[in-house]
Amino acid sequence: MTNSDTSLAVEADGIVQRYYDTKLGRDKVVLDKIDFKLRTGEFCAVVGPSGCGKSTFLRLILGSESVKDGKLSLFGEPPSDPDRHRGIVYQKYSLFPHLRVIENVILGPELDEVNFLMKWVWYPGFRKKHQRFIKMGEEYLERVGLKEHAWKYPYQLSGGQQQRVAIAQALIMKPRILLMDEPFGALDPGTRESLQDWMIEIHKDTKSTIFFVTHDIEEALLVATRVIVLSQFRVSDSGPTEGSRIVADMRTPPQDRDALRADSAYSKMMADVLAAGFDPTKPRHSRDFLMTHPDAIPPRP
């Protein structure tokens, strides 16, 4: 039994992730002593330069990797293998091309509840459950604005519509935390803006806990209620330091796109994010870290 705070969706205490690098002939640190708390209901975006470990951090929360050092807790418990309580949406749509849209959406709950042989051994029981899942799937497709496309195949939808189906596919499982890894990165600018606005509404309606990885700083500041910056561009008193840490952690006020761009505070936030983690010519010392979010944990000495 753990004594961790169960009001926290994620709690990282000095976690380290490293991989063996064949070129270096040694382990290379990717994440270095990450301290982080994510409260339930928060929409947290993670930004940082390429290779800083954003997706690695997400995989640790998903449970597809284990931390090498430190302690990671999810809802007060050590992370297990990936399960239905952690929804995941990738940049590449996780849809089966041979299944219709509605069948893709209900696949998770149907596999979760229906025995494989049920369809053949007790068809009336399967049919009853199947109709219930269809109704549930239609409700989620209506939520994402695609109910009229329920019986189409994925190839008949646009890229943005397919990504909405993938998000509905994750939400229907009612995960305790929704993990999103560059979900809009492959979309055209107009579709991307539309889905960004839609995600803001989804979070308002569902109060979901969301961990959202993106390389787009403006997207992070727009959609999330909180933004953290990971960066490997750091120095210590003895020189450059290997591995990434959280170098900025800030609350982002909810605004629409035009209001955000017109706000002078937005320009300052953008400059702070860029200065904190994206400029290899100006690495920051740990004592210069920008930690402005009230839940931010001070960096370790």
Position 286 scores a pLDDT of: 76
Does 289 lie in the same domain as 144? no
Position 35 scores a pLDDT of: 93
Position 61 scores a pLDDT of: 96
pTM above 0.95, yes or no: no
Assess if residue 251 is contained within a domain. yes
The structure tokens 């994440």 sit at 31
The domain containing residue 226 runs over which residues?
A: 41-67+76-85+176-296
Does 139 lie in the same domain as 285? no
Supply the CATH number for residue 60's domain.
Answer: 3.40.50
Assess if residue 143 is contained within a domain. yes
Position 267 scores a pLDDT of: 81
Rounded CA separation 62/239 (Å): 33
Does 244 lie in the same domain as 149? no
Give the chain's domain count: 2
Tell me the average confidence (pLDDT) per consecutive run of 10 residues in the chain, 301 residues long.
65 94 88 94 93 94 94 92 90 87 92 64 69 92 90 93 91 93 87 88 89 92 92 85 89 75 78 85 82 69 48
**Contact between residue 47 and residue 220 where contact means Cβ atoms under 8 Å apart:** yes
Give the amino acid at 300: R
Does 189 lie in the same domain as 163? no
* C-alpha triplet 43, 49, 53: angle, nearest 5°: 70
Does 158 lie in the same domain as 243? no
DSSP structural state of residue 112: H
Q: What is the 3-state secondary structure (H, E, C) of 269-289?
A: HHHHHHHHHCCCCCCEEHHHC
Does 187 lie in the same domain as 155? no
Does 55 lie in the same domain as 187? yes
Position 165 scores a pLDDT of: 93
Instruction: Mark which of 174, 206, 229 sits at the end of a domain.
Output: 174
Instruction: Mark which of 158, 174, 190 sits at the end of a domain.
Output: 174
Rounded CA separation 299/291 (Å): 9
Position 156 scores a pLDDT of: 95
Strand order in the sheet with 226-231: 86-90, 177-181, 210-213, 43-47, 226-231, 245-251, 290-291
